[in-house]
Homo-oligomer: A and B are copies of this chain.
Amino acid sequence: MGSGRVTSVTTLPLLSDAVVCCPPLSSAPLPADAAVPLAQAFSALSDPVRLRLLSLLMTADGGEICACDLVEPVGRSQPTVSHHLKALRDAGLVIGTRRGSNIWYAVVPEQLAALRAVLAPAG
């Protein structure tokens, strides 16, 4: 990888506090305070545009796509796409890395795995 010269690389701030850790719903009754961040995480998946963005990133070869190449495929305005990318970032589902004047997005597979684990059936 690295097909072009890169002058600066910055990782955008990521709300790692929002990252969900994983007791399955089936292990014990979910306490009210644990339910809130979990619901926020699933809320990030509750929009068609965000699901499509995730899918685009997951199927991208190299595992990342420039933000500029995400606008046209989902058929929304640039600010709207930026808004959804922020939602995904805040949920810890994607990460953005600046390279030159572009920002490349990639999924955070651990976070997806955590959500999957929450839905796992009983032992």
Interface residues of A (CB under 8 A from B): 25-30, 32, 35-36, 38-40, 42-43, 45-52, 54-56, 58-59, 73-75, 109, 112-113, 115-116, 119-122
Contact = CB atoms under 8 A, between A and B. Distances in A.
Copies in the complex: 2
Contacts of A30: 51-52, 54-56
A51 B39 CA distance: 7
Question: A-side binding surface: helix, strand, loop or mixed?
Answer: helix
Contacts of A58: 25-26, 121-122
Contacts of A48: 32, 35-36, 38-39
Given A25-B55, A112-B121, A113-B121, 8 more contacts: A25-B54, A28-B59, A35-B55, A38-B48, A42-B51, A113-B119, A115-B119, A116-B120
